[in-house]
């Protein structure tokens, strides 16, 4: 894991971090890690499968249409000429 050093942290910020850490029952370092993780975590992360399923519901796909989408092409792949 990486280590991060923060220089020139104002005393009032350090005190507030210590107080916040105590309120959450963790060390100041653990509190800072939690705050940083929350700050950079993607908000409302969209998962592709959920997104596609939602589209299917919105356009009201029938069972037959879903079956067509789920069909796989089982033919052998064709050679590609790159020249």
For the chain, 83 residues long, give each residue's pLDDT as a single digit of tens.
Answer: 899 999 999 999 999 999 999 999 999 999 999 999 989 887 777 788 888 888 989 999 888 988 888 888 888 988 998 98
User: What domain range includes position 24?
Assistant: 11-40
Domain for residue 3, yes or no? no
First to last CA, the chain: 46
Residue at 32 is within a domain: yes
Question: Does residue 82 form part of some domain?
Answer: no
**What is the count of structural domains for the chain?**
1
Q: How many angstroms separate the CA atoms of 72 and 66, rounded?
A: 12
pTM of the full structure: 0.52
**Whole-angstrom distance, CA of residue 83 vs CA of residue 81:** 6
């Amino acid at each position: 894991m990486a280590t991060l050093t923060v220089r020139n942290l104002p005393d009032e910020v350090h005190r507030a971090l210590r107080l916040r850490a105590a309120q959450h029952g963790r060390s100041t370092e653990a509190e800072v890690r939690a705050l940083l993780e929350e700050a950079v975590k993607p908000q409302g992360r969209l998962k592709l499968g959920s997104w596609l399923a939602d589209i299917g519901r919105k356009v009201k796909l029938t069972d037959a249409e879903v079956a067509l989408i789920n069909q796989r092409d089982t033919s052998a792949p064709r050679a590609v000429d790159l020249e």
